[in-house]
Amino acid sequence: MPRSEFEVWHVHDAGGPLLTLKVRYRNDQEVPDWVNGPDLAAAVEQAEAEGWHLFDREPGNGPEEYALLHFKRER
């Protein structure tokens, strides 16, 4: 049984005059109401409180996709 679980976040610019980064997908599931959700910094802080640790980042390659963030959590 694996001792860790992994999750990939797809981060997008939510639009507007300023760059507003929001998590749109967690793995392949779209986050409900992602445009009005927390900004990236607040989302990462919340994830860390739930035991997730950011361990890698890569540029996104989809339309308006800003980055892919890789998280790991010990079981």
DSSP category for residue 31: P
User: Which one, of 40, 48, 41, 2, lies nearest residue 21 by Cα?
Assistant: 40
What contacts 24+ positions apart, CB below 8 Å, involve 13-19?
13/64, 13/66
Q: Encode pLDDT of 19-69 as tens digits.
A: 899 999 999 999 999 999 999 999 999 999 999 999 999 999 888 889 999
Q: What is the pTM of this model?
A: 0.87
